[in-house]
Amino acid sequence: MSAFIVSRLHIHQLVTALDTYVSPTEEPTALGALLWQENITSISSYYQNELLSDLPGPCDETYVYEYVTPQRPLSAVEVYKVACCYRYQSCEHPAWETSDACHAIEALCAAIEQHLGKTADQIRALPAWNKADWEIYDDTPRLPDPPPDARPVRKIDLVETAKLVRKALKAAYPTVKFSVRCDRYSMGCSIDVFWTDGPTQSQVEPLLKQFDRKSFDGMDDSTHYHTQEYQGERVSFGADYVHGSRSLSLAFLTQIAEKVCKQYQVPVPEVTANGSHPYIASTPASLLQIPGAGRFGEGECLRDLIHHTAYSTSALPKPRIRLMPILRAV
């Protein structure tokens, strides 16, 4: 994490916190100027030979400070994190530990630890620490978290969830035939939805994902279970995941092949089928490179270009989607 000059708003919060938790101050502007100058001195030491206006942080060549009472109140944990941020940005020069700014920040941290009855490590382990801002960059008051929903949760089993999925798909795409299948396996269950032509997979996916009971977060390698609201009730759906899989008909793939080849003025390759699965075989004609075409604009062979175009094109004259009245997790 690179060091930077904190904002005036950050200093305003520190001055307010020192007045609240340590001791009243009669000269808040002078105290804030002292804190900010120590931060500037530290960053100047860290980024030697850089102009003051080029240092990371507020682009301010004067750095003249005047205290203004913050409009956004901070909790004790938020103040503690703001103080830790300031200390991290201001300790990059040898004189930091003996400075008045260091003594003030250490006194503030000690006062908050005593106020909360917790050690530094215990404060950092609190959920409120993770939610708190590291740097104060705006003065907009935060809305309080809504109270927890105390309504009971009705569990909807897998079969009933599948019926609701069918109902949602029928409402959104009344002319398309969908196959909805339940799949039970060790440690879980899912619903698989199949259809031919009709809407694209990306159009149907948002509808299906509303019925997922859980999700996986790759950032922290964790699984999250969802409670949702459906028709005025808190519910938990019966499928861990709802997957969609779209296939193409021979007629639709042929139609797209003719359209693509007409656009690029090349011969139409043979479109064939293996059972119910149409495809374009690898031939010199189908492997012809089309410069500047494709999803990435760098060129793509004709066969892949036709397949990608077909799967990203709806077969419906006016694709539409009406979502069921299901809200985010509550």
Query: Long-range pairs for 16-25 at CB < 8 Å and ≥24 separation?
Result: 16/69, 16/70, 17/74, 17/79, 17/82, 17/83, 17/108, 17/112, 18/104, 18/107, 18/108, 21/76, 21/79, 21/108, 21/111, 21/112, 21/115, 22/104, 22/107, 22/108, 22/111
Please give the pLDDT value at position 59: 65
Q: Which residue has the tokens 């694209």?
A: 200
Please give the pLDDT value at position 327: 45
- Structure confidence by residue, pLDDT tens digits, 298-310: 678 999 999 999 9
143: DSSP letter: P
Please give the pLDDT value at position 60: 67
SS3 category, 183: strand
Q: Report the side by side order of strands in the sheet with 241-247.
A: 178-185, 188-196, 241-247
Task: From first to last of the 330 residues of the chain, give the pLDDT tens digit.
Answer: 578 999 999 999 999 999 999 999 999 999 999 999 999 999 999 998 888 888 888 766 678 899 999 999 999 999 999 999 999 999 989 999 999 999 999 999 999 999 999 999 999 999 999 999 999 999 998 888 788 888 999 999 999 999 999 999 999 999 999 999 999 998 899 999 999 999 999 999 999 999 999 888 776 677 888 888 888 889 999 999 999 999 999 999 999 999 999 999 999 999 998 887 899 989 999 999 888 776 655 678 999 999 999 999 999 986 555 555 554 444
Q: Which residues of 53-80 are buried (b: 16+ CB within 10 A; e: fewer)?
A: eebebbeeeebebebbebeeebebbbbb
Tell the burial category of 285 from Cβ atoms under 10 Å away from its Cβ (0-12, 13-18, 19+): middle
Q: Yes or no: say if 202 and 254 are a contact pair by the CB < 8 Å rule.
A: no
Please give the pLDDT value at position 318: 65
pTM of the model: 0.58
Which residues make beta-bridge pairs with 194? Answer: 179, 245
Euclidean distance between CA atoms 90 and 102, whole angstroms = 8
Please give the pLDDT value at position 97: 94
Tell the burial category of 45 from Cβ atoms under 10 Å away from its Cβ (0-12, 13-18, 19+): middle
Euclidean distance between CA atoms 212 and 238, whole angstroms = 8
- Per the structure block, which two tokens stand in for 327? 């809200």
- Cα dihedral 186, 190, 191, 192 in deg (nearest 10): -70
252: DSSP letter: H
Please give the pLDDT value at position 6: 94
